[in-house]
Each structure stands twice: as structure tokens, then as C-alpha cells.
Structure 1
Amino acid sequence: MKNKILGSALIIAGTTIGAGMLAMPLTSAGMGFGMTVVLLVGLWGLLTYTGLLFMEVYQTAKQQDVGVASLAEQYFGMIGRVLATVSLLVLLYALLAAYITGGGSLLSGVLPSFGDESSTLKVGVLLFTLILGTFVVIGIKGVDGLTRLLFIGKIIAFVFVLLMMLPKSKLENLTAIPLDNLLVISAVPIFFTSFGFHVIMGSINSYLEADIRKIRVAVIIGTLIPLTAYLLWQLATHGVLSQNEFVSLLNQDPTLNGLVKATTQITGSSILGEMVRLFSSLALITSFLGVAMGIFEGVGDLLKRFNLPNNRVVLTPLTFIPPLAFALFYPNGFIAALGYAGLLFAFYGLLLPIALAWKARQLHPNLPYRVAGGNVGLVIAFVMGIIIMVIPFLIEKGILPAVAG
């Protein structure tokens, strides 16, 4: 396998596997392991399918290095571009602000004091953005190299956690049935965002020079890695903690720290908690790189459309200053916007590629590559996308039960 394909697969996997993975067991607490597996595999299939749809449509792009918004304009005019650009940038800026805040907080914990705690946190936020942002500015080759290095550390930490937890798994914990079958539906939007690699499809297409075979291999391998990691992580946590312990944990401390404390107590090792924190840090960094690269590409595509300068000198401040400003001065306000991330991603990662593929197939009936499933597959995926977008509103109305996330 050529290095670029492997590098692209790892960038896709690195973008997909974020720190949110560690909160998954809390979200699935009342579902049981069996239904969690069904949900994960189903969502993996759905989002890999729509990722490949982007690749199918890219065959018709007028230029190799255009972004998804340019494809949307090509088929749906300026309205398509506006919807694609707004949904992408609001989603990515919100995510990046959250990652910068989290990364700065982690870094500030090992920095010397700069006066009060707030000042030290701001220094941590600035250093985190400056150091990692440099790799994004260098380009996808820089992100590729760093991602490979971080992935090794992430795998080592993850394997260590699994080795400590899996031997303590119990069959009766893994065979528990859902406390409420509707919880499976409520968890869909939260699990759905855990396969969000679509924001970097434009960069991957350019990096692999629009080679369909290479992109297809990169997408499939890049999504199978997180699916495997998610399944193993759920196996470990569901196996160690009984359903009653899970529910009790949610009532006491519905956060990652609560999960870390519980698993540390059960395994009897403080090292486990540190390894979970290490994995969380590495997952956050790789997600930061993927999201920042998505903004870089999206803003560049927008500037190119209006014949404005789109070099790195212009793109760097436009990519990092908005989320950095919110992370420094309004962290709570911007992170609150993450509540809409699932809704925005449902549009960008499901409805948009489906609509583009539908239109492209009408205008280009003899494309060299078509994703399996035909137009029936497009209709089924579209209906599922609408359902996923409606679920949060049904939870808000009390029609569906709320889950932790």
C-alpha cells in the first residue's frame, strides 16, 4: 500500500476518533452492548456510504482541488454554496473552539503559573493553537506526518487500557438488554457524529489526486479503524460495568471523569486513569488537526470562488482567529453551539452528498464509478438523515428519553 493511501486513511481515522469516543459508554449506558454494536455498525455503514458519495460526485468536478462547497454550487447554484459553506464552517469553528479550549486546558496543567489560573489557561490555549496550527499551515503532508506519530501513541495507550479492562469483563454485563428501547433511537445523533470524517473529503481528494481507487481504499480503511476501536472500547466498558453501575454513574457524575474514576476503582489501578487521559489528549489533537484542515480548505475554496487571495498568509488568521477568540474570551458561549453540531453534520454529511449524487447521476449517467445501492440507496439514506435531524427535537419535547453525551 502506498504511503499516501495509508496517510489519508490515518487522517480520516484521526479526524473521526475524537475525545468524544470516551464519553460513548455513558451515552449507551441504558442500551446494553448488543444494541450498541447494532447502532455502531449501522451508522458506520451509512456514513461510509455518504463519504463514498462525495467521491463519486468529485468525478464531475471542474477542477481537482475544489472544495465541497464548489460542488454544491456546480449543481445547486449559489444557494447550494451558501448552505454548504455555512453548515461546514459553523460546525467546524464550533468544534475547533471546543478542541482549542480542551487542549489549552490540558496544556495549562503542565505549564508554570502565569499569575492566576485564568492567565495560565490563556497561555495554554495560545501555545496549543500555535504549535499544532503550524502543522496545518504547512499543509496536509505536515498533518499526515504528525498524525502517523500520534496514532502510534494513541494505539499504545488504547491497547494498554483494553488489556487492563477486558480480562475483568463479565458475560452477564454484555448480554444486558436495553432499559428502554427508545434509548437506542435517542442515542443515534450522538453516535452519528462519531463518524464525521466528511469535512476533509476535499483535502483527501486533492491529496490523492482524485484517484478513485485510492480514495475508496482510504475511506474504507479509515472508517474501519474507528469502528473497530469503538467496538473494542464498548466491549471493555460494558463488560466491566454492569448496567446498574452505569446508571448509578450517570446519576453521580455524567462525565468522562466519572467513567475514569469508576474504571480505576474496578481495575484497582491509578495507571488506567492516566492512560485514559493520555488517549483522550491524543484523540483531541488528531481531531484538532483534521477539523482545522477542513476549515483551511473550506475558507480557501470560498476565497477562490470570489477571486480573493487564498494563500497561507490569508488563510491562517481566518482559520484560527475566530475559534481562538471564542476559546479565550467566550468559551462557554461557543461550546454551547456544539449542541447543534449533530444537526449541522446531518445536513453536511448526509443530505448534501445524497442530493449531490442524485443530481450528478441525472446529468452524468455514465460515470466510471458509482457507489452501490443505486437510487434506492439514496432514498433510504435520505430518509434516515431526516429522521436523525428530527430526533433531537423529539427528545426536547419529551417524546423520546434523554441520554447523556
Structure 2
Amino acid sequence: MKNNTFGSALIVAGTTIGAGMLAMPLTSAEMGFTYTLILLFLLWGLLSYSGLLFVEVYQKAPRTNAGIATLAEQYFGMAGRVLSTIALVVFMYAIIAAYISGGGSLLSGLLPFLGDNATSVAIIVFTIILGLFVSIGTKSVDLLTRILFIIKLVAFFFVLLMMLPKVTTANLGAMPLKDFVIISASPVFFTSFGFHVVIPSLNRYLEGNIKRLRASILIGTGIPLIAYILWQMATHGTLSQTEFVHILSDDPTLNGLVNATKHITGSSFIGEAVRIFSTLALVTSFLGVALSLLHCLDDLLKRVNITAGQTVLSLLTFIPPLIFALFYPEGFIMALGYAGQMFTFYGLILPIGMVWRMRKLYPELPYRVFGGNITLVFALISGLIIMSVPMLIQAGYLPKVVG
């Protein structure tokens, strides 16, 4: 496997293992491990499939550095470009805001001497330091991701080593506290496999090589699935459901997750290990999504004949989510909820529509994703259901999740 193919797979995995993974214990606390496992496998299959749909579409891309909006315009005209751009930009701004908010929440726990200013300072420091790497370019993100991913894996295995021996079958066998909570949690879990925003950057990085892009997606999504299962087993199996839900209801943030781990396991050492892993998970995911947003904005500005320098692109990338995080420091789950809704359109419904059009225009393609049109229809129905979940929760037809 060529070196940059492996690096691309790690960018996929690093982008995937981020805020969605950390939000899992928050949103699935009332669900129980068994139903969480079912939801994980369903969404992993659905989103790996939609990622491969993008690979199929890129076979007929006008250029290797074409963004998703350019592909949408190719098949649906200007309306396709506008809709895809709005969905993509709102999604990435929302999820980056969630990352900054979550990162600030975690880092503020290490800055108690700053008092009430700890969260704001942590948010600004988190954004500036990591934003510099994104501004430099894909190679710097690749290098930093490789280093942090290795450290993250070590921290993750260390957390598992300490938590898994405390797992009990009684905790794992806990049943849902509310009906249909598995459906309510699906939009947040959906973002847990949200690597799709990095596909344009990876296609550019791999110089349009379809086989290597496909390999990086398959390898890159397999790693998070295994990690998610072990993570959910550790949190659901170690923490008593009733007490866990009670603590998270008081503080539905990542810092609340760390405090819940400390309280229930009785070990501040385990709690801090969870904090370190959570911070690294946020960082690698933040890097991938921020890089993708920067490239998306560059593609958008070029479409209207504006050439922006790296400094301007960086400011456009980071200032809006930074403002949100500063004014809504506890908006982690809220931002992920909006991100999940936008991502359902961008990461599932849009590629289904493009592939449907593409297969009619180009019936003989070197690579076609398995399943045919029946699978496309099934995936489309699943996407529409997930998109409607926030509205059904607000209307009272589905229960709210913790946070």
C-alpha cells in the first residue's frame, strides 16, 4: 500500500473518530448497549456505502481537485451546487463549532485557575493552535494526524485496559429507559461516521486514483467501527445506567462525561485518561473537517472568480464557529444535532441522486458500488427518516436524548 494511501485511510479514521464518538455515551445512556450495537452496525453499513457512492461519482469528475458542489452542479445544474454548498457549509460549520465547544469543555477542566474565563480561553487556544496546521495544508494535517492518531490509539487502549475489567453483564444488559430512543439518537450517531467531507481533499491528495481512494475509505471506516464497539462496551458496561443518566442530565457536556467516569468508577486517574483520549479524538476529527471546509470555501470562491489567499480562507473557516463556541460553550449536542441533519442530505441523499443520474448517463463504468438501484432506494428512505428525527422530537412524537 502506498504511503499516502495509508495516510488517507488514517485521515478518514481520524476524521470519523471525533465528536460523534464522544457524544455516543451522552446520547445512548438511556438506550442500553444492545440497541447501541444494532444502531452502530446499521449506520456503519449505510455510511460506508454512501462513501463508496462518492468514489463512483469521482470517476467522471471534471478535475481531481473538484469539490462536491462542482459534482452536484455537473448533474443538477446551479440548483444542485447551491443546495449542496449550503448543506455542506452549514454542516461543517456546525460540526467544527461542536468540536471547538467540546475541546474547550475538555481543556477548561485543566485550567481551573482561570475561573469563569477558563472555557473561553481554552476555546480560543484550541482553535488558534490547530488552525495553524490546517492553514499550512494537507501534508501538515496528514503528518500531525499520523502522530496524534498513534498517541490516541495508545490512550484509547489504556482507557479500555482500565475500564473493561470493570464491565458487568448487568450494566451491558440494561434495556432502554424510553421507547424509540434508538431512533432519536440516530442523527448524532450518524455524524459518528461522517468522514465524507474529506473525500474531495483525499481525491486531490491521491491524484484521482479511484482504487486507492476506495481502499482508504474501506480501511478508514473499519477502524472506527471496532473502536466504537469497544468504547460503548467500556462506557455502558462500566457505568450504571440510572446514575450515569442522572449525572449527565446535570452536565451534558464532555466534561460531564469525564466527571461521570470519575464518580462512578471512583478513579480520577481513569477520568483523566478519558479526558486525554477525548481531547485527541476531537483534535484529529477537527483537523480533517476544518481542512475540508477550507477547501470547500476555496472551491466556492473560485466558482465566482474570487481567488482568496490562505489567510483569508483560514479566517473564513474558523471565525464563525469560534464565535458560536464562545457564546454557546455548552452547545456541543445542539451543534451535532444540526450537523447530523445537514450531513444526512450531504453525505447520503446527495450522492444517491448523483449516482442515479450518472448511471443513466454513463451505463458502462469501470467501478460501480454493489446493490444496484434497489439499494439506492433503501438508502434514500433511511436518509429521509433520519433527517426527520429532529422535527419528530420537537413535535413530541419521539423522546429527547440526554443533552
| Equivalent residue number for residue 46 of structure 2 | 46
Aligned partner of 1:288 among 257, 268, 286: 286
| Equivalent residue number for residue 153 of structure 2 | 155
Unmatched runs of 5 consecutive residues or more in structure 2: none
Q: Normalization by structure 1: what TM-score?
A: 0.91
Change (3 A) 1:236 1:336: closer
| Equivalent residue number for residue 9 of structure 1 | 9
Determine the C-alpha separation between the residues in 1 that align with 2:349 and 2:265: 43
| Equivalent residue number for residue 389 of structure 1 | 387
Determine the C-alpha separation between the residues in 1 that align with 2:59 and 2:350: 16
| Equivalent residue number for residue 308 of structure 1 | 306
Q: How big is the alpha-carbon RMSD for the aligned residues of Structure 1 and Structure 2? A: 2.5
Q: Does 1:269 align with 2:271?
A: no
Instruction: State the SS of the aligned residue for 2:60.
Output: coil
| Equivalent residue number for residue 222 of structure 2 | 224
Following TM superposition, by how much is the alpha carbon of 1:31 offset from its aligned partner in structure 2, in angstroms?
Answer: 2.3
Instruction: State the SS of the aligned residue for 2:365.
Output: coil
Following TM superposition, by how much is the alpha carbon of 1:58 offset from its aligned partner in structure 2, in angstroms?
Answer: 0.6
Determine the C-alpha separation between the residues in 1 that align with 2:326 and 2:400: 31
Determine the C-alpha separation between the residues in 2 that align with 1:382 and 1:112: 47
| Equivalent residue number for residue 98 of structure 2 | 98
The amino acid of 1:345's aligned partner reads F
| Equivalent residue number for residue 378 of structure 1 | 376
The amino acid of 2:11's aligned partner reads I
Give the fraction of aligned pairs with identical amino acids, expressed as a percent: 63
| Equivalent residue number for residue 143 of structure 1 | 141
Of 28-37 and 304-313, more deviation after overlay is shown by 304-313
Number of corresponding residues: 403
Determine the C-alpha separation between the residues in 1 that align with 2:29 and 2:14: 25
Determine the C-alpha separation between the residues in 1 that align with 2:387 and 2:283: 28
The amino acid of 1:392's aligned partner reads P
Contact 2:198 2:292 in 1 (8 A): yes
Of 30-39 and 254-263, more deviation after overlay is shown by 254-263
| Equivalent residue number for residue 357 of structure 1 | 355
The amino acid of 1:152's aligned partner reads I
Of 176-185 and 210-219, more deviation after overlay is shown by 176-185
Determine the C-alpha separation between the residues in 2 that align with 1:109 and 1:177: 32
Change (3 A) 1:167 1:388: same
Of 17-26 and 5-14, more deviation after overlay is shown by 17-26
Of 255-264 and 280-289, more deviation after overlay is shown by 255-264
1:265-284 deviation per Cα after TM superposition (whole angstroms, max 9, x unaligned): 44332111111111111111
| Equivalent residue number for residue 22 of structure 1 | 22
| Equivalent residue number for residue 397 of structure 2 | 399
| Equivalent residue number for residue 202 of structure 2 | 204
Determine the C-alpha separation between the residues in 2 that align with 1:384 and 1:375: 14
Following TM superposition, by how much is the alpha carbon of 1:41 offset from its aligned partner in structure 2, in angstroms?
Answer: 0.7
1:325-372 deviation per Cα after TM superposition (whole angstroms, max 9, x unaligned): 444567678985554221111111111111111111111111110110
Instruction: State the SS of the aligned residue for 1:400.
Output: coil
Unmatched runs of 5 consecutive residues or more in structure 1: none
Contact 1:26 1:246 in 2 (8 A): no
| Equivalent residue number for residue 67 of structure 1 | 67
Instruction: State the SS of the aligned residue for 2:66.
Output: coil
Determine the C-alpha separation between the residues in 2 that align with 1:108 and 1:268: 21
